[in-house]
Amino acid sequence: MNILSPSILSADFWHLGSDIEQVQKAGAKYLHIDVMDGLFVPSISFAMPVISSMRKYTDIFFDVHLMIEKPERYIKEFAEAGADLITFHLEATEDADAVITSIRSFGKKVGITIKPGTPSEAVVPYLDKVDMVLIMTVEPGFGGQKLIPECVQKITDVRKWIEERGLNVDVEVDGGINLGNVQSIIDAGANVIVAGSAVFKDDIGANVKAFLREMNE
């Protein structure tokens, strides 16, 4: 069963609680939470206080995507705010192994991710230490961008390396995914799909159901 992780970056923050209830009711198992620091990426989003507020009211799986410099500084805070899985950028730290160990020490799942310009080979040394690899298909920083087709091969590469090693690692893809291209992303080897602007518009529940149909038929 492939998993949909709606990105609340595109939600209406006035109605955040009700937007989350709608995606969960429609069958989304994860919630993708984009944290941006204005340094690693040009934009700033939200962080711990928003996550801990949401945590009080929902048990949906919190898939936290850290787009921050030196993520090692804040792992404890994100773990305590209620993250279930913490994904960090390999480009943002000089000691990825230490970040992985830190996330594990709080009993959380570990994800690593790379920007479009970073070769897929960068994830190989960590494949047997993580729960998920996130392939970015847009430059991180903003929702609503177009998927970069050249990134799709990386999904296939990473899935192949995981299978060759007999590992149980999820492959998540984030950026520019919509109902028209999600099937090709699954076919390339992804099993966790992030979608922001394609979910949080018009009828949110209907969008989630349409994605899940496309992804699991």
Q: Say which entry of Zn ion, ligand DX5, none residue 143 contacts (CB below 5 to 8 A, set by partner kind).
A: ligand DX5
Nearest-angstrom CA–CA distance, 74 and 116: 24
Residue 214 as a binder of Zn ion (CB under 5 A): the answer is no
Q: Which stretch binds ligand DX5 (CB under 6 A): 83-91, 95-103, 116-124, 143-151?
A: 143-151
Closest CA to 187 of 153, 148, 141: 153
Nearest-angstrom CA–CA distance, 157 and 130: 16
Residue 174 as a binder of ligand DX5 (CB under 6 A): the answer is yes
Residue 118 as a binder of ligand DX5 (CB under 6 A): the answer is no
Q: Say which entry of ligand DX5, Zn ion, none residue 214 contacts (CB below 5 to 8 A, set by partner kind).
A: none
Largest Cα–Cα distance of the chain, in whole Å? 46
Active site residue 84: no
Q: Say which entry of ligand DX5, Zn ion, none residue 184 contacts (CB below 5 to 8 A, set by partner kind).
A: none
Active site residue 97: no
Nearest-angstrom CA–CA distance, 175 and 194: 7
By CB atoms closer than 10 A (0-12, 13-18, 19+), residue 139 is middle
- As measured in angstroms, the least distance from the Cβ of 165 to Zn ion is 25
Which residue among 37, 131, 170, 174 is the active-site one? 174
Q: Which stretch binds ligand DX5 (CB under 6 A): 84-92, 100-108, 152-160, 192-200?
A: 192-200
DSSP 28-70: --EEEEEEEBSSSSS-B---HHHHHHHHTT--SEEEEEEE-SS
- As measured in angstroms, the least distance from the Cβ of 112 to ligand DX5 is 14
User: Would you tell me which residues interact with Zn ion (CB under 5 A)?
Assistant: 34, 65, 174
